[in-house]
Structure 1
Amino acid sequence: MPPRHHQPEALLAALSASRGRADRLTHTEHLAAREARCAPWPDGIRPEIVASAQALGIDEPWAHQAEAMQLAKSGQTVVLATGTASGKSLGYLAPVLSELLEGTEARNGRGATALYLAPTKALAADQRRRAAELAPQRVRAALYDGDTPPEEREWVRQYASYVLTNPDMLHRGILPAHARWASFLKTLKYVVIDECHSYRGVFGSHVAQVLRRLRRVCERYGSSPTFLLASATTADPAVTAHRLTGLPAVAVTEDASPRGPLVFALWEPPLTENVGEQGAPVRRTATAEAGYLLTELVERGTRTVVFVRSRRSAELVALQAQDQLGTPLAARVAAYRGGYLAEERRALERDLHSGRLLGLASTSALELGVDVSGLDAVLMAGYPGTRASLWQQAGRAGREAQGALAVLIARDDPLDTYLVHHPEALFATPVEATVLDPDNPHILAPHLCAAAAELPLTEADLPLFGPSARQLLTVLEQRGLLRQRTKGSWYWTRRERAVDSVDLRGSGGSPVQIVESSTGRLLGTVDAAAAHTTVHTGAVHLHQGRSYLVQNLDLESSVALVEPAAPPYTTAARDITSISVLATDTTVEWGEARLSFGSVEVVNQVVGYLRKRISTGEILGESKLDLPPRTLRTRAVWWSVTEDQLLEADIPFDRLPGAAHAAEHASIGLLPLFATCDRWDIGGVSVPLHPDTQLPTVFVYDGHSGGAGFAERGFHNAEQWLTATRDAIAACECERGCPSCVQSPKCGNGNDPLDKAAAVRLLNILLAGAPGRSTESS
């Protein structure tokens, strides 16, 4: 077999030369190697921890690790925001484990305790392995998550000193049962929040309120833990840490770890002979291109991870590579994604750690910090949504300071196409700040109920939950959810658990279980919000390389019954959406046009699905569905133009629907460049004459109840956002509009009507009136 590590330049040259692919490489960025800077072990780090680290080959910590340790020992809230593979774990583990060792010698009952929070189960399991490497056996580290057997949970509550869990278990399992966790909470010294940049949008806002509830319960038991946060490189990490915890934070951002040279390539798949919806040209999919590249890398013995955007894509990439490789190499390629059962995930993680697997196709479930040493290459099948995630994924390779290759493969959509032709947007632009809004009343209100159920709320608690808390208490009293038994003391009034009404991840309810009807075997789960579009009756579902056909979706029981099948088609849901303005917060005049931000109500209903031939995307037919509408109250940004502007832009009324629809699609595709979101986090509606504005209007809204801050970010960056949108449409080489510019993979109208040329003119006339611009068209 070839040598384990390969020069990244040689790997890239081989990939681009093979099969005449040189024209697919749009840009190559070379990042130089970086020398390490070390520092002495800070005072207060126990000699046992130092000895364990030195046994692992760590004679001294890097300078940023030592700084974080020193701040942690002084009791300050600290966020360690440095690059991937920069040893953030040691930065917080050394002070935490040292404190736990001190506690075991105090002989005052249980001793000191610490809590670790991770966004994924895999990361928590990986962190327990790292703690075991550093800590003597008398530090009792234990996992506490949905996979922990009931008989083990009682032991964890009574005896574990270092509990590794996730925000969901803290919210549903620990805080409502805080009396059973009293001995743990009384001596809680540290709370570690790993990969805190992943707590964004609705999820991040919920987690921020869970942490406030934790602080309140800890105070009840007489403890005041120090919060230690680890993050990928983001803008304003101290501000993010403050918003997440409610505590002032100090940021450590200067990365002193060594890094091997990184070759970062931007790659655009070729156009195919196929045509898609409305006869548009179609590029080879990013997942198909990734499958080819993964095959060649595995053949060269190159340890590679492919990051994809969906569970289905993870299965498809792995299956394609396995088919092309044949035995025996096919057995060294696998898929990894959320929704697998616990034993399946653990087996894959072991095989990846051991090196038995050479290639892995993964969703972002593997992005978050799982230690995979020795990877040579990372392929990203589509932009992951934020620059922070892009660098996080790219950093999975080269973790032993060897040279590494990262390749971003563009999907056939506006944002990816824009990025591979505008490399400065990736390599010369700072990473984003994390967007979260803990004061969102739709998020705060249920957490006030949960807090009152845990311990009666008092006036003294209200500052902890933010400036909106007092007003919301009145609303919750009026709804009969809270009651004052004594003045200034509020209680939960219901028999059901308050936490059961709070969905941290904004998935819209209980996950839908996917069950094989003939055997009763549980294959996995899908979020409730995605069930209507992904596991409706008649949908094609993939699991571990096998195709299934959904026989029935039972929404009442949250079960989708499936049977093995191999249809020659995929399915795509079709829906209808209407939107109404509830309240306008802000309006800005853009010449004759208007840009607004406020609250809206969106009503969406899946009404059918298309069957598309797998090989070409050709539409084979359409079937109707009878699913209930879903109503969403959220936040939106919208813009309206006048009839005079349409005349000036030469857009007759019969072309207006296609122009507005195309501009809407492209603006949704480009908003993730300016807000920390994914296009699936947001939605849009375009209306030639909207009843609330009485003008042609395009809306872009947050896809989560109460909003998530993404539309607001679009409002504040509207000129840059809509300029990039106009430029992306205008620069696309297609004639009438295609997935690279104005078509959307989630359009419920089959991407009809769309008018690319009129969309450019519509955006030109809008931008001409933007503040600070001349009246001439841009």
Structure 2
Amino acid sequence: EAAVVGVVDRQSAPLLLHEGAVYMHGGEAYLVRELDWEGRMARVEPAQVGYYTQASASVTVEVMEVLEEEAGPATQKARGTVRILSRPTSYMKVRLYTHEILGWGEIDPERVPEQEMETTAYWFNVLPETAALLEQEGLINMARDDRGPNWEQQRNQARDRDGHRCRHCGAPERPGRGHDVHHVQPFRTFGYRRGENERYLEANRLENLVTLCRSCHRRVEVDRLVFGTLSALAHVVGHIAPLYLMCDPRDIGVVSEVKSSLTGLPTCTIYDNAPGGLGFSEELYKLHGTLLAGARELVAACRCPRGCPSCVGPVAEVGEDAKANCLRLLELIL
């Protein structure tokens, strides 16, 4: 006989109750079999699976109003009201106790619509001079999204050639969500510079392109440097912010962007994970220097060699050089 197991708030439901999720309640594990978003109900079954699931979401930050801002030697801090657009994209299965990643799964976008929330946020971006130095050292790549003038044409031809299916798992594209196209030999290794050479032609040849669904793409992606450095910083800042705020880690959200839509620069945003805000952004704005100094202290003191969930995040997610790169980034912006 069906019974109510638990209640989840609407904002958290897409990440906790997507199909395939392991929902934990009262020390028991339940496998989510079906999510009825319109009916606001998920069907779950007791399960002994030996793993938990962790969902990832594509999050976009739209700044509505800047309430306060101040530039420092290497960074500019600001706070204001923002619109957060989020949609769960995939999830990973993580073994209990050892935290090994056992596999990945995609979340059907038709089952879970995009979520929108207006709240308050604090953010800081690296100033242009420092960003140029970071790019020179290879810690970030401001031109990472520039795949050359023929990229869209080649990308579409690769998807057509592959029948709009993932070459690894065979999953078809879904309406409104085209598959990714991956460079077999990483694009960055060709040394393309807009206006200086035409090496994109060699990098984007069809023989070097393969169609992958988002889950498979994440597993085979090797160009993690840009993503890893900023994600490592976002991870550690998001890790220690609740200690200063004396709040639950789930009360805030953290987003890192190589090129912010507002500033066009590397930016880290911490937003209040509740409609209208919780007052945390104003406090974090005041704690800006203390927060970054605390982040550097935590990463430097961690005894792991290359990174771990306690400092910059799992090596499998942020890359093997993320810890060293994050320390260098913090050294330059403090």
Structure 2 CA distance for partners of 1:727 and 1:545, relative to 1, 3 Å: closer
Q: 2:295 corresponds to which residue?
A: 725
1:726-765 equivalences under 5 Å are 726-743=296-313, 751-752=317-318, 755-765=322-332
Q: Is 1:707 aligned to residue 280 of structure 2?
A: no
Give the CA deviation at 1:757: 1.5
Asked if the contact 1:646/1:762 (under 8 Å) is kept, the reply is no
1:442-483 alpha-carbon deviations (Å, 9 max, x no partner): xxxxxxxxxxxxxxxxxxxxxxxxxxxxxxxxxxxxxxxxxx
Give the CA deviation at 1:666: 0.8
Q: 1:363 corresponds to which residue?
A: none
Q: 1:766 corresponds to which residue?
A: 333
TM-score (norm 2): 0.67
Q: Which amino acid aligns with 2:123?
A: W
Consecutive aligned runs of 4 or more in structure 1 exceeding 6 Å deviation: none
In the alignment, the residues of structure 1 paired with residue 3 and residue 28 of structure 2 have an alpha-carbon distance, to the nearest angstrom, of 14
Q: Which structure is richer in relative contact order (CA contacts within 8 A, separation 6 or more)?
A: 2
Of 50, 55, 73 in structure 2, the residue corresponding to residue 573 of structure 1 is 55
1:304-339 alpha-carbon deviations (Å, 9 max, x no partner): xxxxxxxxxxxxxxxxxxxxxxxxxxxxxxxxxxxx
In the alignment, the residues of structure 1 paired with residue 132 and residue 328 of structure 2 have an alpha-carbon distance, to the nearest angstrom, of 11
Q: 2:130 corresponds to which residue?
A: 645
Give the CA deviation at 1:630: 0.7
Asked if the contact 2:119/2:275 (under 8 Å) is kept, the reply is yes
Give the CA deviation at 1:680: 0.9
In the alignment, the residues of structure 1 paired with residue 119 and residue 85 of structure 2 have an alpha-carbon distance, to the nearest angstrom, of 11
1:234-245 equivalences under 5 Å are none
1:240-639 equivalences under 5 Å are 519-626=1-108, 627-639=112-124
TM-score (norm 1): 0.30
In the alignment, the residues of structure 2 paired with residue 679 and residue 545 of structure 1 have an alpha-carbon distance, to the nearest angstrom, of 20
Give the CA deviation at 1:696: 1.3
Q: Mind listing any 5+ residue stretches in structure 1 that lack a counterpart?
A: 1-518, 745-749, 768-778
Report the 3-state secondary structure (helix = DSSP H, G, I; strand = E; otherwise coil) of the residue aligned with 2:245.
Answer: coil
1:33-52 alpha-carbon deviations (Å, 9 max, x no partner): xxxxxxxxxxxxxxxxxxxx
Q: Which amino acid aligns with 1:702?
A: D
1:682-720 alpha-carbon deviations (Å, 9 max, x no partner): 111111111210211111111111211112101011111
Asked if the contact 1:702/1:708 (under 8 Å) is kept, the reply is yes
Asked if the contact 1:640/1:698 (under 8 Å) is kept, the reply is yes
Report the 3-state secondary structure (helix = DSSP H, G, I; strand = E; otherwise coil) of the residue aligned with 1:521.
Answer: coil
Give the CA deviation at 1:672: 1.8
Asked if the contact 2:140/2:229 (under 8 Å) is kept, the reply is no
The structure with more helix, counted as a fraction of residues: 1
1:141-167 alpha-carbon deviations (Å, 9 max, x no partner): xxxxxxxxxxxxxxxxxxxxxxxxxxx
Q: Is 1:686 aligned to residue 256 of structure 2?
A: yes
In the alignment, the residues of structure 2 paired with residue 595 and residue 545 of structure 1 have an alpha-carbon distance, to the nearest angstrom, of 41
1:514-542 alpha-carbon deviations (Å, 9 max, x no partner): xxxxx122223222222212222222234
Structure 2 CA distance for partners of 1:566 and 1:717, relative to 1, 3 Å: same
Structure 1 window deviating more from structure 2 (646-655 vs 660-669): it is: 646-655
In the alignment, the residues of structure 1 paired with residue 127 and residue 138 of structure 2 have an alpha-carbon distance, to the nearest angstrom, of 11
In the alignment, the residues of structure 1 paired with residue 68 and residue 26 of structure 2 have an alpha-carbon distance, to the nearest angstrom, of 48
In the alignment, the residues of structure 2 paired with residue 546 and residue 589 of structure 1 have an alpha-carbon distance, to the nearest angstrom, of 49
Structure 2 CA distance for partners of 1:691 and 1:543, relative to 1, 3 Å: closer
In the alignment, the residues of structure 2 paired with residue 646 and residue 547 of structure 1 have an alpha-carbon distance, to the nearest angstrom, of 45
In the alignment, the residues of structure 2 paired with residue 613 and residue 556 of structure 1 have an alpha-carbon distance, to the nearest angstrom, of 32
1:374-427 alpha-carbon deviations (Å, 9 max, x no partner): xxxxxxxxxxxxxxxxxxxxxxxxxxxxxxxxxxxxxxxxxxxxxxxxxxxxxx
Report the 3-state secondary structure (helix = DSSP H, G, I; strand = E; otherwise coil) of the residue aligned with 2:31.
Answer: strand
Report the 3-state secondary structure (helix = DSSP H, G, I; strand = E; otherwise coil) of the residue aligned with 1:653.
Answer: coil
Q: Which amino acid aligns with 1:610?
A: M
- What number of residue pairs does the alignment pair up? 245
In the alignment, the residues of structure 2 paired with residue 698 and residue 541 of structure 1 have an alpha-carbon distance, to the nearest angstrom, of 30
CA-atom RMSD, angstroms?
2.3
Q: Which amino acid aligns with 2:125?
A: S
1:168-183 equivalences under 5 Å are none
Asked if the contact 2:120/2:272 (under 8 Å) is kept, the reply is yes
Structure 2 CA distance for partners of 1:641 and 1:544, relative to 1, 3 Å: closer
In the alignment, the residues of structure 2 paired with residue 677 and residue 520 of structure 1 have an alpha-carbon distance, to the nearest angstrom, of 35
Q: 2:192 corresponds to which residue?
A: none
Asked if the contact 1:646/1:652 (under 8 Å) is kept, the reply is no
Give the CA deviation at 1:582: 1.4
The structure with more strand, counted as a fraction of residues: 2
Q: Mind listing any 5+ residue stretches in structure 2 that lack a counterpart?
A: 142-224
